[in-house]
């Protein structure tokens, strides 16, 4: 079946603008994660959603970052008043979270460049 | 101490060589472990899961030492296509949070 998809694949914006990044997880996957990866760095956890539980937002770097997941499926990550340090690849991943099925499947990412 | 520590490399090895990477983790509550590979400018992809003392899949072997809190990845008969960054990912028991290491870069040379 289809994998995790993300849009846009690339986004160039000006400092101070808001951006929305979208993630379509694999159908049936209850868990959804957002990560950020700066050039040459590891993955930085941002937020995860699991079913109807309250999301774990502990990784969001500031209150300019927010995310929602509608209907337990599609998720949107919003960055308000973007700053140059927000430039990175934003990766979304989903998993089934069944016993023995903890594998995260990643989308191709959105490359964000803030000028 | 970082939650996950990996030697960033790069490890430059000739084709056919055997190479091993280590990863140390600080949280003793980690129960599940994963090795992901990430190619340049691509997303991470699962290479191997480790739930007990180790796992083997073809040329790849992972070994877990819970007492010393490290996990290793051994690659035998290296191929050019093995060139990538290898990410160590422990998962804490009771949470859904995965902690990604910064990765070890491998270059297999012809």
pLDDT tens digits for A66-78?
A: 999 988 799 999 9
Q: Which run of H or of E encompasses B84?
A: strand B84-92
Interface test with chain A among B9, B33, B44, by most A beta carbons within 10 Å: B44
Position B28 scores a pLDDT of 83
Question: In B, which residues are within 8 Å of A43 by CB distance?
Answer: 44, 87, 100
Q: In this predicted model, what pLDDT tens digit does every residue of B57-97 receive, in sequence order? A: 999 999 999 999 999 999 999 999 999 999 999 987 777 77
Coil/strand/helix, residue B62: strand
Residue A85 has pLDDT above 60, yes or no: yes
Q: In this predicted model, what pLDDT tens digit does every residue of A1-11 receive, in sequence order? A: 589 999 999 99
Mean of the pLDDT values across residues A89-112? Answer: 87
Q: How sure is the predictor about A101, in pLDDT bands with cuts at 50, 70 and 90?
A: low
- A38 or B28, which is more confident: A38
Q: In degrees to the nearest 10, what's the CA dihedral of A60, A97, B46, A2?
A: -90
Out of B45, B97, B103, name the one closest to residue A56 (CB): B97
Residue A99 has pLDDT above 60, yes or no: no
Integer angstrom CA distances of residue B72 from A42, A60, B17, B22, B33: 18, 30, 16, 4, 11
């Amino acid at each position: 079946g289809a994998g995790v998809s993300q849009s846009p694949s690339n986004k160039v914006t000006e400092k101070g603008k808001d951006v929305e990044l979208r993630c379509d997880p694999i159908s049936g996957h209850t868990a959804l994660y957002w990560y950020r990866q700066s050039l040459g760095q590891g993955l930085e956890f941002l937020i995860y959603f699991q079913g109807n539980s309250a999301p774990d937002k502990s990784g969001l770097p500031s209150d300019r970052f927010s995310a929602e997941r509608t209907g337990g499926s599609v998720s949107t990550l919003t960055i308000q008043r973007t700053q140059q340090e927000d430039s990175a690849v934003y990766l979304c991943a989903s998993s089934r979270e069944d016993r023995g099925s903890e594998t995260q499947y990643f989308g191709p990412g959105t490359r964000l460049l803030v000028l | 101490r970082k939650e996950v520590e990996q030697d960033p490399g790069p490890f430059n090895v000739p084709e056919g060589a055997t190479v091993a990477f280590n990863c140390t983790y600080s949280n003793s509550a980690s129960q599940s472990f994963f090795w992901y590979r990430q190619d340049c400018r691509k997303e991470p992809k699962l290479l191997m899961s480790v739930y007990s003392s180790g796992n083997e899949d073809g040329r790849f072997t992972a070994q877990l030492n819970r007492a010393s809190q490290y996990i290793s990845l051994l690659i035998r008969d290296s191929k050019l296509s093995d060139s990538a960054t290898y990410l160590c990912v422990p998962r804490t028991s009771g949470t859904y949070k995965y902690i990604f290491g910064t990765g070890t870069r491998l270059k297999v040379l012809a």
